[in-house]
Structure 1
């Protein structure tokens, strides 16, 4: 690699520093729970230390690797495209690995989990897998929020959030490397802002709807985040089934469907273009698959467990959407 290409490579790696700084900022968000749950203020340092570490290390990498965007004589296109793709993938991979570590540190510092289970919890959260090593009935509120917030951010992606505040010629490659091939708007920054605005709106409406249906505001915001990210973490040991509420089931079904839907389709939904949505192959296939799965599950519940038809349909609809969206919420407490 010649000097010009080395310069551009260093400049690309500065994005890792930006994302580490972003992760440091995200580590502070659970502290917003302290005014509502003052007893959790004892865990303040458990979040401040990982945040400070992430910001300091990320800032150092950002400053060290930043180079002038234009170097005389550079023709960026001459650099081998597979090499550029590999570098972009490594940057995104390194950011996710750091997020796993930063997400695990609060659990370790608080003495709630040993390192391996803490890392398990963080990986499960950021990747929206939803498996848990914790007894949620005994976990302080601030850590329950931390788990759910990791899932919500993991569902959006770091690059998606990073490009809202920054811009660069390499952002589009990082965006694609993270698994976002679709652009909703002509510019990448507009795409990121549109997606964030959509999900912020869905989160606010979902939280309000779940609160109206009988959830506490804390449970509502946590379940809304985990439904939209299709992650499935819950603040209750019995998951959604513990509430035994038809209205909560219906709201959660809608949120899970939103979370598993393509960003471009969600933009059409926000614009009220229902006819165009009905023409999307993905929507048609998912609708058909859900109808078949719900019908089959309802018949099994009715014939084998002898549940009433209404209850069979309710549980079948919830479990089918939860399974096909890979969320993992359960309707059976």
Structure 2
């Protein structure tokens, strides 16, 4: 374990992160919203803290090993949440406790979208911008951005990339060099953000709202500058634009890269994970529409409109809202929360367990049924006509087991603090899947739950963002053995 190198990297990354406070400072100067002092102090605190961590180890250089990469990833996301909470804590409006500030910061950076804020429409513009900005930075992962400049820092970035990128296949790269891979991902990410902003703006949003909502849409975060979320605009066009970009952002960014290189879109429909993703969305939309119509909750046009948007929003783990789905009839609220467990595709900005893992689990389950009939047969698990290594299938089952175990433990922990079962079940799903909205007490926001529960949910957000194992591996004795 190269502790000196790790601390040097952490210090550098915190100093880089402090510079991300400059855009909110500019917004505060433009709108004269009274939050300027909080951001200036936060910039100073973050910059000096990073400098103090980096300076004693500034001469230590070398490549990061696998264990170093995991430790840097976890430490950075943890410290990032801490330093990202400083503006919320210092700002006079909203006046937040340390716990609430950390919760809001982690929720933004992990693109969860769960909030403890109320009266969002009345907040200073710079605070509104900062919340959305945090989600945009966290969407693709600040560490992936840092990987692009790792050669300048004198630190190899491959281990950071492997620890950070989501999905069951961690070693695949879009380009031969890891720095070029990170740059390619960010070019795609930035382009989608610009196009989404222009689309919202053309559809009737103010430029400020369009920019802020494009941040949280492409990041699949779900924060909004209004309490009513996307429903505030009451526009079918805006909802359609949001839906399209939620779907695009929930797809594997490797597919977007390939589309850019080949100028073709047919590979989206040939990719097995993408096809299964579209299938899940279609099923959720059709079932939701049917139930809303049959129960006369809305007329058929409104039913289709709300069912499409809410199904896509929840299934992709974005968490935007146009209607309060928590009061929809029968099993629909439960169904929509369940779809978030699949979440987005691998190497997307979506949360959840990832669609490819669900697909592999289903194929493995079907193989076990076949083995009951043909116990001596050799039946490989295939995806896209290619056999999947048994090591990968086993790893997916291990991830699934760990995910459910963590989920159950966290849910019991929340219930032990006095939270009812529905609220506890949905709150853990909303944070572990990086979804945002839940049911019961947390349908609108998380302000009413106790601080102990908020700390547990902060841990759940980190687990979800780092895909469980990256964080849990630090709690094993083997990790710390030489």
* TM-score normalised to structure 1 length: 0.88
Tell which deviates more after alignment, 149-158 or 25-34. Answer: 25-34
Task: Please name the residue that 1:130 is paired with.
Answer: 113
- Kindly indicate whether the alpha-carbon contact (under 8 Å) linking 2:246 and 2:318 is maintained by their aligned counterparts in 1: yes
Kindly indicate whether residue 313 of structure 2 is the aligned counterpart of residue 330 of structure 1: no
Find the residue that maps to 1:122 and give its secondary structure. Answer: helix
Kindly indicate whether residue 72 of structure 2 is the aligned counterpart of residue 91 of structure 1: yes
Kindly indicate whether residue 278 of structure 2 is the aligned counterpart of residue 287 of structure 1: yes
When the two structures are aligned, how many residues end up with a matched partner?
Answer: 314
Structure 1 residues not aligned, in runs of 5+ = 1-5, 71-75
Task: Please name the residue that 1:176 is paired with.
Answer: 162
Task: Please name the residue that 1:198 is paired with.
Answer: 188
Kindly indicate whether residue 146 of structure 2 is the aligned counterpart of residue 162 of structure 1: yes
Task: Please name the residue that 2:301 is paired with.
Answer: 310
Tell which deviates more after alignment, 10-19 or 141-150. Answer: 10-19
Q: How has the CA–CA distance of structure 1 residues 198 and 109 changed in structure 2, closer, same or farther, with 3 Å as cutoff?
A: same
Find the residue that maps to 1:331 and give its secondary structure. Answer: coil
Shift of 1:34: 2.9
Tell which deviates more after alignment, 206-215 or 165-174. Answer: 165-174
Superposed counterparts of 1:1-333, under 5 Å: 9-37=3-31, 39-40=32-33, 42-67=34-59, 69=61, 84-111=65-92, 112-135=95-118, 136-167=120-151, 168=154, 170-180=156-166, 181=170, 182-271=172-261, 272-332=263-323
- Post-superposition Cα deviations, 1:80-131, rounded to whole Å, max 9, x if no partner, equal x9xx433322212121122112211111111321211111111111111111
Q: How has the CA–CA distance of structure 1 residues 32 and 269 changed in structure 2, closer, same or farther, with 3 Å as cutoff?
A: farther
* TM-score normalised to structure 2 length: 0.62
Find the residue that maps to 1:232 and give its secondary structure. Answer: coil
* Superposition CA RMSD, Å: 2.0
Shift of 1:207: 0.7
- Kindly indicate whether the alpha-carbon contact (under 8 Å) linking 1:125 and 1:231 is maintained by their aligned counterparts in 2: yes
- The structure 1 segments of at least 4 consecutive aligned residues displaced by more than 4 Å after TM superposition are none
- Kindly indicate whether the alpha-carbon contact (under 8 Å) linking 1:242 and 1:332 is maintained by their aligned counterparts in 2: no
Aligned mates of 2:175, 2:37 — CA distance in 1: 40
Shift of 1:164: 2.5
Structure 2 residues not aligned, in runs of 5+ = 325-482
Tell which deviates more after alignment, 138-147 or 95-104. Answer: 95-104
Shift of 1:211: 0.9
- Kindly indicate whether the alpha-carbon contact (under 8 Å) linking 1:107 and 1:118 is maintained by their aligned counterparts in 2: yes
